[in-house]
A and B are shown apart, each in its own frame.
Chain A
């Protein structure tokens, strides 16, 4: 009987030590991190609000994380920076507002840590999400056409319609739905170009 408790207690200790060492201590270390105030008075990183927050939820529910990372490795370790995925390595402060985290571990698609800086155009994002083949031929990304209302030739295109470069099935324009707009707002916000001091250490 007593032996069972010793066995169970030893087993318990092994897991308790690792969660203390790997999760609780680093979390304690990050407690001191605060957003920085930029010269123009805004903060980095800023909380997600409105369309960005809703867009983040869509990013999560569509499972973008299974193909896209949001982390740039340091210079000299991989070619993340040389590929132009970021201007500096990612640091813990970049993720202060991320709940849940979306770091990701797969790069079937490119890194998205600074996609907002690399592709600032709403139109590009809309066309890319509507049909990735139009902007990136040979891409294996699924189409997210359900985030857009299709406008066919002959129909009147509303003012906020986005022109599709190659017509197919008579679709000339697309109009992002609320969800589409939110997702694009979130993607456009992804930007780690603010030079945090600790990223250059």
Chain B
């Protein structure tokens, strides 16, 4: 029976660990988000989405088709 109580203690410890871990990581996440917004990480995001296009392959031009197919 002593063994089982020990195990319960252990499980309690595990849960405490998980809860505290969740709390700490949650707070860190929120803080990180606030920090990232403040630093301007989210500004100008659409520019990132456009970086795969250029003057030669601009937005609006289809760049792939079956071989031999007319343009």
Interface residues of A (CB under 8 A from B): 17, 21, 25, 29, 32, 197-198, 201
Contact = CB atoms under 8 A, between A and B. Distances in A.
A21 B18 CA distance: 8
Interface of B: 3-4, 6-7, 10, 14, 17-18, 21, 25
A29 B25 contact: no
B50 to A, nearest CB: 19
A26 B25 CA distance: 20
Nearest to B17: A25
B58 to A, nearest CB: 28
15 contacts: A17-B21, A17-B25, A21-B18, A21-B21, A25-B14, A25-B17, A29-B10, A29-B14, A32-B3, A32-B6, A32-B7, A32-B10, A197-B4, A198-B4, A201-B4
Nearest to B10: A29
The B interface, classified by DSSP as helix, strand, loop or mixed, is helix
A53 to B, nearest CB: 29
Contacts of A29: 10, 14
A21 B6 CA distance: 20
A113 B19 CA distance: 35
A-B residue pairs, 8 tightest by C-beta: A29-B10, A25-B14, A29-B14, A32-B6, A25-B17, A21-B18, A17-B25, A32-B10
Nearest to B1: A197
A198 B10 CA distance: 15
Nearest to B36: A6
Contacts of B10: 29, 32
Contacts of A197: 4
